[in-house]
Structure 1
Amino acid sequence: MARLPTALPWRLAGYIGRESAVERQPVLRWLEALFARAFPGRSADQYAQWARAHLAMLAQEMVDAMAFDRLGRFGGPRVELRGGDLGQKLIGSGQGFILVLNHYDRLLTAPVALARAGVATNVLTMPVLDNPELSAPQRDFLLRKIHGYTRATGGKWHTTADGLRAVHESLKAGQGWVILADAWRPEFGRLRAHPFLGGYLHLPTGIERLAQSTGVPMLQAVTYSRNPGHLEVVVEPLPQNPRDAIDMVVQTLERDVVQRPWAWWQWGLWDQMWTREEKPEGNP
């Protein structure tokens, strides 16, 4: 479907969805119940609307993954970039940096938009080839997605399984790296609690430790889909202190999730990442 001309594939994706008709209804009901727990007091119609929007957004992101080269170009969704000069100045001065994203909305639009503005970035992800939880079709899809993404951003792909020495050296050499703050796995051991939606979100501390050891600045980027064919990317500076920087990233995420709950990807991990009471650092 991503081969169809204009922004039509992104509009169709929301109607077609990722799930079969049999799978879709149970997923919608599950999402509605989860939204009701996280945001009590809203109407059943509101929860249902958020659930449908969530599945539509994930389907549209799958089209992104097959057509990164069309984002912000003729024949694809329109992309407005605000704050791109922040990355340009860092690259121009030979300063490496970490671009912090969250699993929010059409998240990979931001690095692609920056690449269009002359700011190439590399990306650090979880393992794909050695991830036993992925089926063969899922693995093939992700590898194709990563290939298209790195071609569009002009950078390279590195996984946590490969170690961080190359990332550390690259940052010090003046390159930019994209890392997700709200990535979560059950085996993560070094977590920190952040106030979030009346409880605490437990996130890994890897980004702040990497920034501390390399001394590089951090930026954050958020994508807001105004409609399937119109995306806005906002890039902002973060505090120099890495811990304060990640605190600000999570505060931005909380603000955005309150305004647009459907746009956060991580609801499926809610019961693992979020607790009502604060847990000691390092223990989710």
Structure 2
Amino acid sequence: MNASIQFWLKKFRMRVVFPALALLPAKQSYALATFIGFLDWKYLNTTERMEVAQQMQQIPVLNADLIDTYSKRFCQLMARDTLDSYRMPRMTAGNTGHLLEVLGLEHLVAAENKGKGVLLLVPHYGRYFMLGPALRFLGHGFGVFTTAITEATAPDENWRTYLTQKLKNGFMFCGGEWITSDDSPLRIYANLKAGNSLLMAFDGVESTSDKKLSAPFLGGTAHLATGSLRIAKRTGAALVYISVKEVGESLKFEISALPEDPELALQEATTCLEKDIQEMPWHWWLWRALPRVWSRN
């Protein structure tokens, strides 16, 4: 497809299609988003489809016969996640809270009560941006650490505009500080030392550090950034693992306690992510980036 046509189609999708869907009742809007995800998989974004399937085929513990189905569900989930970001400004506990189930909230409360701050270790898994509304509706706020959205990190103009708006909409519910990779790390330390909670996506690929955690993962070895490990060691912050899974039309958030020792905590979070991926492979966002976070033994 011509690059110019592709650019304008993306702009139409982000500026017209999904904003219009967000005005519809939830059931209809998500059904239509799911159909768009199918169109992406079947016709509109076959390059991504093939890349996702190709990387899934590298994983020995996945059922090779189901990879085509997994790649389709991946595209559909990504479309629903896109719709989430456009619906967020209108979300309230009344119109959305009943679709969000949070399990293990007691683990978060226990970590908060330690008074040294909490690192919420969240993987790029499922519709995890919905954690903001889910916890806010239960009275729990948190700050967020993200990669700065710039031309360097998001070269495509449409994607950069979308990500910026998505982060702003998600942050509406968080109630804490928004800290980016362009900010001083001192902001992170101060936030946690004040007893606040901070969300970090611990399986990200944006880290510039050569230091990685290597751990058995999906029949090979994971190579994950250790930023959360360094922060926890310096601040004494407690750590919890949070994942979100689609259950019918609802989202189920699972909060898990992690060991007090930061190294053991990060290893346990990696084990939790491995189990989650094996349960719902299409929920993991990073299939296209697999060579940067995983290798065969």
- Given the two structures, how large is their TM-score scaled by the length of structure 2? 0.85
How many Å separate the matches in 2 of 1:105 and 1:33? 20
**What's the counterpart of residue 42 of structure 1?**
63
Task: Tell me whether 1:61 sits opposite 2:81 in the alignment.
Answer: yes
Contact 1:72 1:79 in 2 (8 A): no
Report how many residues are paired. 275
Q: Which has the higher helix share?
A: 2
1:61-100 aligned within 5 A: 61-69=81-89, 70=91, 73-74=94-95, 78-91=99-112, 94-100=115-121
**What's the counterpart of residue 72 of structure 2?**
52
Task: Tell me whether 1:198 sits opposite 2:219 in the alignment.
Answer: yes
1:184-223 aligned within 5 A: 184-185=205-206, 187-223=208-244
**What's the counterpart of residue 155 of structure 2?**
134
**What's the counterpart of residue 155 of structure 1?**
176
Task: Tell me whether 1:238 sits opposite 2:254 in the alignment.
Answer: no
Moved beyond 6 Å, runs of 4+: none
Contact 1:71 1:109 in 2 (8 A): no
Q: Structure 1's 130 and 174: CA in aligned 2 closer, same or farther, altered over 3 A?
A: farther
User: 1:185 Cα deviation (Å)?
Assistant: 2.8
Greater displacement, 121-130 / 98-107: 121-130
Q: Structure 1's 71 and 192: CA in aligned 2 closer, same or farther, altered over 3 A?
A: farther
Greater displacement, 80-89 / 101-110: 80-89
Residue type of the partner of 2:175? G
**What's the counterpart of residue 281 of structure 1?**
none
How many Å separate the matches in 1 of 2:146 and 2:111? 23
Contact 2:135 2:141 in 1 (8 A): yes
Greater displacement, 57-66 / 171-180: 57-66
Residue type of the partner of 1:166? R
How many Å separate the matches in 2 of 1:93 and 1:117? 19
SS in 1 for 2:58: helix
User: 1:133 Cα deviation (Å)?
Assistant: 3.6
How many Å separate the matches in 2 of 1:184 and 1:144? 21
Contact 2:61 2:218 in 1 (8 A): no
Q: Structure 1's 151 and 240: CA in aligned 2 closer, same or farther, altered over 3 A?
A: same
Contact 1:64 1:71 in 2 (8 A): no
- Given the two structures, how large is their TM-score scaled by the length of structure 1? 0.88
How many Å separate the matches in 2 of 1:118 and 1:76? 12
User: 1:95 Cα deviation (Å)?
Assistant: 4.1
Task: Tell me whether 1:268 sits opposite 2:288 in the alignment.
Answer: yes
**CA-to-partner distance for each residue in 1:243-282, whole Å, 9 max, x for gaps?**
10010110011111112111111001112221124xxxxx
How many Å separate the matches in 1 of 2:175 and 2:142? 7
SS in 2 for 1:74: helix
Structure 1: gaps spanning 5 or more residues: 278-284
**What's the counterpart of residue 282 of structure 1?**
none
**What's the counterpart of residue 12 of structure 2?**
none
SS in 2 for 1:165: helix
Residue type of the partner of 1:173? A
Could you tell me which of 112, 135, 141 is aligned with 1:120?
A: 141
Q: Structure 1's 212 and 37: CA in aligned 2 closer, same or farther, altered over 3 A?
A: same
User: 1:110 Cα deviation (Å)?
Assistant: 2.5
How many Å separate the matches in 2 of 1:267 and 1:71? 32
Could you tell me which of 272, 285, 290 is aligned with 1:252?
A: 272
Could you tell me which of 5, 29, 34 is aligned with 2:50?
A: 29
**What's the counterpart of residue 36 of structure 2?**
16
**What's the counterpart of residue 108 of structure 1?**
129
Q: Structure 1's 137 and 20: CA in aligned 2 closer, same or farther, altered over 3 A?
A: farther
SS in 2 for 1:177: strand
Structure 2: gaps spanning 5 or more residues: 1-20
User: 1:76 Cα deviation (Å)?
Assistant: 7.5
CA RMSD of aligned residues (A): 2.3
Contact 2:243 2:255 in 1 (8 A): yes
Contact 1:91 1:119 in 2 (8 A): no
- In percent, how many aligned pairs have the same letter? 23
Q: Structure 1's 43 and 128: CA in aligned 2 closer, same or farther, altered over 3 A?
A: closer
**What's the counterpart of residue 192 of structure 2?**
171
Contact 1:122 1:177 in 2 (8 A): yes
